[in-house]
Structures are given as structure tokens and as C-alpha cells.
Amino acid sequence: MAGAVIISICASFLWGITAHIDKFMINGIDEDGSNIKTLFVFSTLIAGLVFSPIWLIISKFSVSISAISLIAILLSTLTYLLATYFYFKALDKNDASIVSVMFQMIPVFSYVLALIFFKENLTIQQIIGSIIIILSAIIISFDFEKKNNKSKFKAFLLMILSSLFYAIYFILFDVAIRHSSYNSCAFWYQIGFLIMGIILMCIKSYRITFIKAIKNNGKTYFSLNVTNEVLNLIANLLVNFANLTIPIALANVLNGFQGIFVFLLGIVGVKFLPKYFKENLNKKVIFQKVSCIVLSVIGLIVMFIH
């Protein structure tokens, strides 16, 4: 069990790295405001092209899938992209450590959706834990220096939408693997990304932005995006493996360490690699971030540990 706990924490560490890579790709490469469009095309078209063959091999070319699973997978791809879009928009004007705390709202929405669609009942612990997590997201979205409250409040609203769509994505993916194998679903999920990438390339503004980025910083975008996808894949595999030996509730709590790692990596990065990291290290802001990270973890513990 101890090994599985360490594996789950390692997954959170990898996700902490990807948060900072996302932040750099959005704010640190091009300065003409086109980064999100560029990153969106890379995250769909390139990821689909690179990873669909990998899942084809992993599945040993057995990629048959039921109609229900295929519909659920394609819908999950769409909801994942919507969630990612709102996440990128929130990350554009805010520190990665702030946005990562708001990600803890995903299990809150998962419970709400289960209540609505699966008629599951919420326990007192789940309600209290959800309130604590939402409170931490509200507090971290408030700027006590009153310099950019509007930006942080906008990030809060964007992360509400992002967390909601991520929760829907998880439910749809779960529906898909209940009717078909995980590997075949993963393959068609990447095909869904490829289809969305092609659709985006048909949109003039996205196509022009993407081609321009390829000419100027193609190697940088490609290497960072593939690195990000690989880290995400490894993190997901680690969590799936850990879930085999520890309760899913404990795994969900351990995912709360992501905010801690994002914050710590931000501090180290600003000190040693300020060109690539952006993190507000004002004492009041640090206290606010640490308090909200701790509060969100407490909320997860209350929510999941019975």
C-alpha cells in the first residue's frame, strides 16, 4: 500500500510539471496573444497523430468498440477540449498554483452529477468537504492587494466551467470503458483528438495562427507538447496502477498534492529559471496560496476518507 501511495504522489508531481509547461506555452513563447489557439491545435492534431499509433500498438490492433462506447468517447473528447480551453483561458492571466487549487472542484462536480444523473445521495461528509473545497477556490481567487481581482474572479468562473466539463469527461469515459476495453477506448479517444484537430485546421484563424507558430517556434511547441502528453500519460498510468491496490477515495485525496507540487515547483523555478517560470512570491500571496492549498486538501480528506 505504501508503494501505491508513493506512486500516486509521483503522478501528482508529474501533473505539477505539466501545469507549468502549460503556463509557459501560453505565456512564454509567442507574445501576440495567439498562444492558446496554437496550443489547442497542437494538443489535438499533433497529439492525435503521435499517440493514436501508440495506442494501436498497445491494444495489439484490437480496437473494436461498441456504438455506445464510441459515442461516449467522442463526446468525452469534446468535453475534455472544452474543459481544457477554459483551463487555458484561466491560466493565461493567473499563476499555475492558483489555477491548480481550483482544479479540486472536479470531484465536487462529479458528486453533483452523480446526484443528478445516477440518483446517488450525498453524505454530510461529502457536502462539508465540497463546501471547504469551494471555499478554498473562492479565497484563492480574491486578490488582497486589489490589483487584479477582476482577473482572478474571471479565472474562478472559468475554472468552474473547466471543472464541470472535466467531471463530465470522466463520467463519459467511464461509461465508454464499461462497454468496451480500456485500450480500444484510449485509441478512439486519440482519434477523436485527431478529428477535432482537423476541424480546427479548417477554421481560418486557427489555421493561420498554427502555420505561423510552426514557422517561428515549431520545434519548441512540438517538443513541449509531446513532453506534456507523455507526462500526462505516465501520470494516468501510475494512478490507474495505484488504484488497483489502494482505495479510490485515498487516490483522490492524494491527487490534492498536485497543488502543493505546482506551488513548490513555481518557487524553485522562479529562483533558478525565472525566464521560464512566473509565480507571484509576495509574502501575502504565498500565505494565501499555502492556506488555500491546505484547505483544499482538507476538503478532499473530509470528502473521501470515511
Query: Tens digits of per-residue pLDDT, 67-82?
Result: 999 999 999 999 999 9
Instruction: Give the chain's domain count.
Output: 1
The three three-digit cell numbers of residue 250, written as one number = 485515498
In the prediction, which pLDDT does 210 show? 85
Please report which confidence band the pLDDT of residue 237 belongs to, taking 50, 70 and 90 as the band edges.
confident
Residue whose C-alpha cell reads 495506442 in the numeric block: 55
Instruction: Check residue 121 and report its DSSP letter.
Output: P
Segment 208-234 shows an average pLDDT of 84
The candidate with the shortest Cα–Cα distance to 147, out of 105, 94, 186, 190, is: 94
Residue 244 domain boundaries: 2-304
The three three-digit cell numbers of residue 157, written as one number = 468562473
Measured in degrees and rounded to the nearest 5, phi and psi for residue 146 equal: 55, 40
Q: For residues 202 and 279, which has the higher predicted lDDT (pLDDT)?
A: 202
Please report which confidence band the pLDDT of residue 192 belongs to, taking 50, 70 and 90 as the band edges.
very high
Residue 174 has pLDDT above 90, yes or no: no
Q: If you count DSSP H runs as helices and E runs as strands, how many of each does the chain have, helices first?
A: 13, 0
> Contact 183/61 with Cβ under 8 angstroms?
no
Residue 10 has pLDDT above 80, yes or no: yes
